[in-house]
Structure 1
Amino acid sequence: MSGVRASKVIDVADVAAQVEDGMTVAVGGFINSGHPMAVVRQLIKDGRRDLTIVGAASAGLETDLLIAAGVASHVITPYIGAEGFAGIGPAFRKAAQDGSIDVFELDEAHFYAGLRASAQRVPYNPWRAGLGTDLPVINPRLKQYRDPINGELLIAVPAIDIDVCLLHAAVSDIYGNVQHNGTRYGDIAMYNAADKTFVSVEKIVSPEQIRADPLRTSIPGATGVIRAPFGSHPYSADGYYVPDAAHIQGYLAAATTWLKSDDRSELDAYLDEYIVGPADHADYLERVGIRTLLSLNEF
């Protein structure tokens, strides 16, 4: 029947199928919180390669994991780490030191300037930050130029154009109207810069619940939404659960062994157990264990 709105609920495998080798993919969240891990794991399981990963302004180990699994060949983010767990992602450090990934060196101001340029559909964003530093030397893609209006020296930050944006949030209705809990600024900037945006959520709720508080809607009409309880595990989801410290430390130990000794056996065992082995997101959660999941209380 004409005029009927179509549901935008989609499963993890179909979202991952939207990502092709060589694409630029943004992965939302912030350090140890709010990452779309169900989709991240599927990209690794599907064997994606040569992706440019746009991490958050402060990216977490989700980006490190994509590097460790050989999915990412280029990285655009000011930082990859894990706050109290690790100052810097071990796989990121190893790949950067070995020269096996291309790192787009920039600070947080440049990062948001590049996303803003893409959102505005212009080739670059003029910015003052970084003048007088070595940033334009280290990263020649940051171009110094004279402003044609007043002759002022500025930096042209190239647009960060995103093919597919992957986010995790609290809730959405079936029509892709998404509402975050907590921090969402970076996710919104990525969404505005992307051609397509898919959001995994802890719950699908009624359109009436979304309409009851429309100012909370952060993504008004995602390309698709994924029903994924515990979809950010082992990282936190504001209002639902805290990071799984033991799981994160297990990954870090395996990746750090690779960094220090070039021995991938522990890392590959982690990938086999939690990414390659599980048939789907539900199978992954079963491997983590219901007691572990229920223990991740915020209060």
Structure 2
Amino acid sequence: MKILLTGGTGFIGSRLVKHLQFSHELTILSRNPIRAYQKLGHNLLAIPSLKDLNNLNEYDAVINLAGEPIANKRWTEQQKKRICDSRWALTERLVELFEQSEQAPETFISGSAIGYYGEQGQQALDETSIIEDDSFPHQVCKTWEQIALKAANEHTRVCVLRTGVVIGIEGGALAKMLPAFRLGLGGPVADGQQQMSWIHISDMVDAIIFLLNNQQCHGAYNLTSPNPVTNQQFSQALSKQLKRPCLFRAPAWVLNTAMGEMASLITGGQKVLPKRLSGEGFNFRYKELDHAFKEILLRR
């Protein structure tokens, strides 16, 4: 299969490349092709932009994982625009290329996040949940999904990845948390009762490959473990695995002062269940958080 992949040098993308590059023909979109080759190897083609493509006739599938990290910087109006443009504009361009293709790829897998669900407290959510929310994460994801779904037609199926907190040693939230927790300075945020819908990086990659290979799959999918936990449970499980105390608590007001609106990503939460993935036959390797932490940290 010939696959065009955006976001291939990121946390999720680089792990996905390792699983696909020897069984498929990969083209990676990267602003820095030299860096992409250094990180991913030379068993692929790296291109700097989509400007030179007039269509997608030569590809069987497109996987779109690119986007400015949503939690790296305070949400100024300029940063919000950067977050939106990095998702919406690139996806719009890919949809244009689908429309310009005489023989468009059969599969389009495009990113999203569980931020789509906004802050719903302890309510269990799945892909059928009706969401009315005016938060920034919801608006980002809702528009991103709507753009991607425009590529759907009789020939092309579209799968949207509503991704939870991806845990792995190479990047993501866990990599940022580990230094404090290793020093025994980690702990819950706010009251610790906000829900965390997480997924092991290996299950994340396996799920993308599952959607790539199963032609009956289309529409939105929650990429989260079947067993979400509270922020306190997450903190305690990580501390236990590291054999460190879990004593310190970060008050909500401190985060709100330091991070502004972006603090809602940490102080809020969603209890998201992978109803469609499980119902269509995907098997999670890491259903329980303790098992996931043990594999990640012992392998490290």
TM-score above 0.5, yes or no:
no
Larger helix fraction of residues: 2
Larger strand fraction of residues: 1
TM-score (norm 1): 0.26
TM-score (norm 2): 0.25
